[in-house]
Amino acid sequence: MTFIDPGLSVRDGYAEGPLADAALARAARAGRLLDELQEQAPTMTDGQLRYGVHRALRRFTQDQPPACQVDSITALIRRGVRIDWPASDRLPCA
């Protein structure tokens, strides 16, 4: 086991600890938000959809997502392309 920071360690190529758990929870929540948006997209305006995508990405990254990424995902959802956001139970480390 390698300790990186308090609350974060690596074992067998996967991050462990409270910080890794928080990152996994954020990824799962972002995936649920995107799923909800895709179900509601036909009844939403373009601005509402774009704002929802922005919120989901911001929850995942905890930072301002690039506008081009928000626009791209919004356009895909609007065209009916299904966006899958898989969240596993373990966080792989390189």
Q: pLDDT tens track of the chain, all 94 residues?
A: 565 677 788 888 888 888 888 888 888 898 999 999 999 999 999 999 999 999 999 988 888 999 999 999 999 999 999 988 877 777 777 6
Report the pLDDT value the prediction gives residue 74, as an integer from 0 to 100. Answer: 96
Report the pLDDT value the prediction gives residue 1, as an integer from 0 to 100. Answer: 55
In the Cβ-directed half-sphere of 84, how many Cα atoms lie within 13 Å? 3
Maximum CA extent, the chain: 49
Report the pLDDT value the prediction gives residue 57, as an integer from 0 to 100. Answer: 92
CA distances to 29, 46, 48, 69 from 74, in Å: 18, 8, 10, 8
Q: Give the predicted TM-score (pTM) of the model.
A: 0.78
